[in-house]
Structure formats: C-alpha cells, structure tokens
C-alpha cells in the first residue's frame, strides 16, 4: 500500500488518487464573473479603476498598447498580447501614455449589452487601443491563503504571431466581444476563468522553491497528499493517526513535518478548512445549521457553532442574517 490509495474501506472509493493538489486548491477559488467590458480607447486617455475588495481584475490588451500603474508604483508597459491579473483588486490606472490624465471608471459612459457585459468608447480620437476588462469574484475564505501569497500584479506577455495559448485566447475573446455572437457572454465568462487560473499557474511555475511557502506544502509528496485528502473529504473523521497512515508516515513524523511546513497543526488546518466551507454554505444555501454542520464534519450543532464563532468571530446565525 502506498499510503494514498483511496480504496481503503473508510474512504470514498469513487475518488481517484489526487495527482495535482495545487490544481485542487485552484478549484477552491470558486470564480464568479461580475463584469466584462470591451473598451475601445483612443489617445489621449486614462482610466482610474478603484479598489474592489474581493474582486480580481483581469485586463487584456487585444490591440495597440497602453500603460498600467498600481497605486504608488511605477507604470508598466503593456504591449498588444499582454494579460495582467490584479488578484486583490488594488486601485490602479490604465493610460494610453504614462502622463495622460485619468477619469474615474464610474464617470465614463458605457453601452450595456447584457447583464454583466458592456462596451466602452473613450478617448481623444488618436491612436487606438483595445482592452478587454474582467472583474471576477472569488470565495474570500476558501481562497484567502492563495490570494495573500500572490504578488499585487501578475503580468503575462505574448507576441501577436507566436501562436501561444494566451494569444489564441485573446484573439478568440476579441472576436466574441466584437461580433456579439449567441452565448458570447457565457463563452467569455469561461475563458476569463481559464485566464485567471493560467496566470496563477504561470506565477507558481516561476517561483523558486524557497519562495513557495504554503504552496510548497501542496507539492510535498506527503503533506500535499494529506492536504488533498482533507480538501476532498472534509467531513471524514480525520485524525493525525489516520492521515499519517493514509500517506505512509509515522504519526510523529507527519505531525512535525506538517507543522514545520504550514506553521500550524493538522487539527487547526482541518478546523479552518471546515469552517471556511461552512461559511460558504451559509451564504449560498438555505440548509439548516445541522445539515451544514454534518456536511463539514460536525455531528453536534453546538460544537459546530462554537468552532465557527472561534474562527470567524460571529455565530453561524449572525453570518446568515448578513446574506
């Protein structure tokens, strides 16, 4: 037995062994598009995009070029084929040229062509640039560890004729946005999710081992497997001993390695994961507290409520009232 075969009697036999713990964590982002804007811009022009908590900003330069500037940082050139991801929704500025004055996003008129899709025509009539902008929400609790690790801005570049996945996707999005084909909004929504995930994956692949921190634990041959088991089956009655057995380590060796890599105990990690999942269930379903508690591994509603309040600072009932 390898220590990670899910044919063990107490595990779900329908789940295949995980070979990609980092990919499974990306699924916890629970991406949800809130705004898609196709901007036809002409020099001189500048747009101030305000801080949007809980929203990732994705900006694609589909033709022309522009400059992007995070609040307080030096401007960065974005040639045609650039993709920028701003994972924490920081305030930033887009300009045709570094010294162009900016107008706040809310003060620029747009043409609404769908519930979440809009067109913008803005600028002084000079050199044209086309930018496609997305605002994408993510689960603020489940994704918090990963989001905090990301830099303020991720920047990918391709050449217009390099045949890369990014350039092909940019061209496809530009076509969908321009032609307004049936289901274009749905197509662009799905492609935006792919772009976010690819940008994060590209960042991860470029890290040195000493920079990976929590992400390194996901790729550890033992700790990553234990984390994957907890992510996949949070309601299971996991103990340090049972997890150690599943991954083929001793109890003491597993406990020490886990704490060293993640800076917290196995029990605390599992508790946090369960409460984060419960928080999402409270926001997104009308299920009873008892059902939610059981779904995340608590067979006692009072025990669940106490653990929830310790983690979140509010009771489950108080969170539900805010929805």
CA-CA distance, 226 to 256, in Å (whole number)? 13
What would the CATH number be for the domain defined by 213-322? Answer: 1.10.10.60
pLDDT of residue 18: 53
pLDDT of residue 180: 67
For residue 208, count CB atoms less than 10 angstroms from its CB and return exposed for 0-12, middle for 13-18, buried for 19 or more.
exposed
Matching residue, tokens 């705004």: 35
CA-CA distance, 276 to 278, in Å (whole number)? 5
pLDDT of residue 96: 97
Instruction: Return residue ranges of the chain for CATH 1.10.10.60.
Output: 213-322
Tell me the C-alpha to C-alpha distance, in Å, between residue 292 and each of 10, 109, 164, 295, 320.
Answer: 21, 44, 44, 5, 12
Task: Write down the pTM of the prediction.
Answer: 0.72
pLDDT of residue 2: 31
Q: Are 130 and 120 in contact (CB under 8 A)?
A: no
**Which segments in the chain show pLDDT lower than 70?**
1-21, 28, 141-142, 158-164, 177-181, 208-213
Q: In degrees to the nearest 10, what's the CA dihedral of 313, 292, 262, 85? A: -90
Name which of 152, 29, 130, 151 is nearest 79 in CA terms.
130
Helix (H, G, I), strand (E, B) or coil at 129: strand
For residue 84, count CB atoms less than 10 angstroms from its CB and return exposed for 0-12, middle for 13-18, buried for 19 or more.
buried
CA-CA distance, 198 to 211, in Å (whole number)? 19
281-317, pLDDT tens digit by residue? 998 899 999 999 999 999 999 999 999 999 999 999 9
What would the CATH number be for the domain defined by 31-206? Answer: 2.60.120.280
Q: Are 119 and 38 in contact (CB under 8 A)?
A: yes
Instruction: Return residue ranges of the chain for CATH 2.60.120.280.
Output: 31-206
Tell me the C-alpha to C-alpha distance, in Å, between residue 277 and each of 127, 130, 285.
Answer: 49, 39, 12
């Amino acid at each position: 037995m390898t220590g990670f075969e899910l044919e063990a009697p107490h595990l779900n036999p329908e789940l295949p062994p995980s070979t990609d713990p980092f990919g499974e964590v990306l699924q916890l982002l629970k991406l949800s598009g809130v705004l898609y804007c196709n901007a036809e811009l002409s020099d001189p022009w500048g747009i101030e995009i305000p801080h949007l908590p809980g929203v990732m900003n994705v900006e694609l330069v589909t033709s022309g070029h522009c400059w992007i500037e995070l609040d307080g940082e030096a401007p960065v050139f974005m040639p045609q084929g650039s993709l920028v991801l701003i994972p924490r929704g920081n305030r930033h500025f887009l300009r045709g040229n570094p010294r162009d004055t900016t107008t706040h996003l809310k003060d620029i008129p747009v043409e609404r062509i769908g519930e979440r899709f809009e067109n913008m025509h803005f600028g002084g009539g000079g050199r044209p640039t086309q930018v496609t902008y997305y605002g994408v929400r993510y689960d603020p609790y489940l994704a918090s560890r990963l989001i905090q690790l990301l830099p303020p801005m991720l920047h990918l570049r391709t050449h217009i004729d390099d045949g890369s996945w990014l350039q092909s996707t940019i061209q496809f999005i530009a076509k969908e946005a321009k032609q307004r084909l049936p289901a274009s909004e749905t197509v662009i929504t799905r492609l935006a999710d792919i772009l976010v995930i690819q940008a994060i994956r590209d960042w991860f692949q470029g890290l040195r081992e000493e920079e990976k921190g929590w992400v390194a634990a996901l790729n550890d041959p033992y700790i990553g497997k234990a984390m994957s088991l907890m992510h996949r089956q949070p309601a299971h009655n996991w103990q340090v001993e049972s997890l150690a057995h599943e991954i083929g380590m001793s109890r003491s060796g597993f406990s020490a390695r886990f704490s060293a890599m993640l800076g917290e105990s196995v029990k605390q990690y599992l508790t946090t994961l369960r409460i984060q999942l419960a928080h999402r269930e409270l926001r997104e379903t009308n299920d009873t507290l008892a059902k939610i508690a059981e779904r995340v591994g608590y067979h006692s509603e009072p025990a669940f409520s106490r653990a929830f309040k310790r983690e979140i600072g509010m009771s489950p009932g108080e969170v539900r009232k805010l929805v």
